[in-house]
Structure 1
Amino acid sequence: MDLDPLIHAPTRLQIVSLLAAAEEAEFGFVRDTLGISDSVLSKHGSALESAGYVRIRKGHVGKRPKTWFRLTEVGRAAFTLYVRDLQTIVSASGLSLVPEES
């Protein structure tokens, strides 16, 4: 079993994880939440879009240009498989991805 290399990159994993919990997220929200630069988000967003994992929508709010990200069904399925594979790998060690409360 190989983890999806496109999702496995730390910044892309953060982007996909954030988008998995939302219907759609505005560029500035994703950038600020993850603490990354515009150029880093643009680069990784484009890579995810090229793979069909993310849909990028551009529009305007008033006169201001805005960009929104949405995880596609393909992206959601890939992320679900990634998490399942990661859980399988971790469970083989006897550890849990969810820490036990003390």
Structure 2
Amino acid sequence: MSSGTGSGGHPTNGLSDTVHQRNRLGILTIAAEAEQVEVAYLRDALELTAGNLSRHLAVLEEAELIRIDRGYHGRRPKTWIRITEQGKAALAAEINALEELLRRHRELGTTTMPHLPPAR
């Protein structure tokens, strides 16, 4: 049986420690849905404190998965996040690894999640 990871390893080997963290995955998925997203929206949508969000943004920016743009909307300072091409690729790889993990569990019938039909 193939693992679908391309290297013969377990699908979890395709998960990125940087991307897989719940809040960073949320930031990337929201940013991928729009051309840009305001930091205040991310904070509210993900229910994070400003400091916690700032730390996650710093990790993603350092990994070059997002770009942070600062400017003004009228007189008010605003900060927007844009996902980079590298970020889109990392998000796609993460989703592919998760899909492969789900596929594998469906195939093996080892899942007890009610929304996943058992393997036949």
Q: Same fold (TM over 0.5)?
A: yes
Q: Deviations over 1:37-78 (max 9, x none)?
A: 111111100110000000000001122111000000000000
The within-5 A match list for 1:1-102 is: 1-94=13-106, 99=115
Q: State the structure with more CA Rg.
A: 2
Deviant stretches of 4+, over 4 Å: none
TM-score by length of 2: 0.76
- The sequence identity of aligned pairs, in percent, is 35
Aligned residues: 97
TM-score, structure 1 normalization: 0.89
2:14–2:93 CA contact under 8 A, matched in 1: no
What residue ranges of structure 1 are gaps of 5+ in the alignment? none
The RMSD of aligned alpha carbons is: 1.3
Query: Where does the alignment leave 5 or more consecutive residues of structure 2 unmatched?
Result: 1-12
Q: How much does 1:20 deviate?
A: 1.2
